[in-house]
Amino acid sequence: MQPSEMVMNPKQVFLSVLIFGVAGLLLFMYLQVWIEEQHKGRVEKKREQKATSGWGPVSYLRPAPRIMTRGKTQKPIINQNPKFHMLEDPKEKFPVNSEMPTGILTEIHLSQKEDQVLGKTTRSSASKLIAKQQRTKNFFRKFSEMNWPLENRPLNKSLVKDHKWKNTDVTQEKRRSFLQEFCKKYSGVSRPQSHLFHMVSRIYVEDKHKILYCEVPKAGCSNWKRILMVLNGLASSAYNISHDAVHYGKHLKKLDSFDLKGIYMRLDTYTKAVFVRDPIERLVSAFRDKFEHPNSYYHPVFGKAIIKKYRPNACEEALNNGSGVKFKEFIHYLLDSHRPVGMDIHWEKVSKLCYPCLINYDFVGKFETLEEDANYFLQLVGAPKELKFPNFKDRHSSDERTNVQVVRQYLKDLTRTERQLIYDFYYLDYLMFNYTMPFL
């Protein structure tokens, strides 16, 4: 090819430049549109985040207050009607048998000083409540699947011959259904086998009548363990067993003492029972028992630490022996995320003692109807007819039983914020067992 043939004429050059120019222009226009779309998407996302950033995600397993963190901090909004609250008897305004804490807490008009304290507490606790909300959401998501049934099986009522238990049975079925539906709706359960032994560590076993009983302190557990000892043949009468024999005798087996096969078999075939109590009433009962009477364990271990941290200018005697803890000091300890000493089973949440959404309990008893529920349960498992649940007070028998009126006296010295935070602490127990939210 001759050099003259390799030279493009002006027309060809112009055409080539034009083609490349048009292609470049089209590419530029495409890139501009793409960039604008990406920018618009980021702007919309930021707007959405900004619009919702002041609120935590909605969850009915969160503490009751929903704190606004955007702009001016608001006071907690108390939800007087939780979405999933359902009365055991829908025809009644409140559950029968005094199962609700209605009337425990009365409205107190806030002074200017208390209002300031409330505002400060709200601001300082906002982040804690949000974190607490997230922990509650994760409560049911930290386990992997286990090999026991997810559905509650029907109770075997073939041994119940007396028709007087009809109303008790109806109430029991409502409680079982309520807990089961609650757990289905909110749990999202996953459960690892590595946690199995911990989960069943508070469950007592009675093999003869195939009973599993989860111990909830301050909800009739001492007398329940007496009953289990009688059923096991370890005593002829529940009234002849001392407090020390019940709690320190090591006569009863716990479910975590068996191997995995033995645990699964019993969970699958035995009748599983849990007895609960209004959380705040149970808390006051625990405080009265452990701190208002001489105690060689709770005073030096818990009392000294509580007085040291929460009592300004404490005297030397109180610091040395730990006696005389005030209820308000005890509440400060309970609500402190940096407690000087750990939690104790007597005021730990039932959700962490018995795992009611992970272990499918066949029977849900309540302290408010303890004797009726317990004696019906004994009929269900085929206990001897002469065996009745004891009704005596295990210790400090001269003291008035902790009831609604007693609880009111203890709570009257607390601020409204402190009362609300106690409820937040036990929020899950209130919902699980269908206890009515107290008027805060």
The per-residue pLDDT for range 90-110, each reduced to its tens digit, is 333 333 333 333 333 333 333
SS3 content of the chain, % helix, strand, coil (to 5): 50, 5, 45
Pure H helices in 255-401: 260-269, 279-291, 298, 304-310, 316-321, 327-335, 350-353, 370-380
Question: What is residue 7's predicted lDDT score, i.e. its pLDDT?
Answer: 55
Closest listed residue to residue 379, CA positions, set 158, 75, 124: 158
Tell me how crowded residue 422 is: count the other CB atoms within 10 A of its CB: 21
Q: What is the pLDDT of residue 159?
A: 77
What pLDDT is attached to residue 286?
96
Question: Helix (H, G, I), strand (E, B), or coil: what is residue 276?
Answer: strand
> How many Å apart are CA 204 and CA 72, to the nearest integer?
51
Contacts of 293 (CB under 8 A, 6+ apart): 395, 396
Q: What is the pLDDT of residue 42?
A: 56
Q: Roughly what angle, to the nearest 10 degrees, separates helices 416-425 and 112-139? A: 10
Q: What is the pLDDT of residues 198-234, one digit of tens each?
A: 999 999 999 999 999 999 999 999 999 999 999 999 8
Q: Name residues of the chain where pLDDT drops below 70.
A: 1-8, 11, 13, 17, 22, 30-152, 187-194, 439-440
The rounded distance, in Å, linking the Cα atoms of 136 and 405 is 31
Distance CA 317, CA 126 (A): 37
What's residue 399's pLDDT? 82
Query: What pLDDT, on the 0 to 100 scale, is given for residue 251?
Result: 85
What's 73's DSSP letter? P
CA distances from 4 to 7, 11, 23, 39 (A): 6, 16, 29, 52
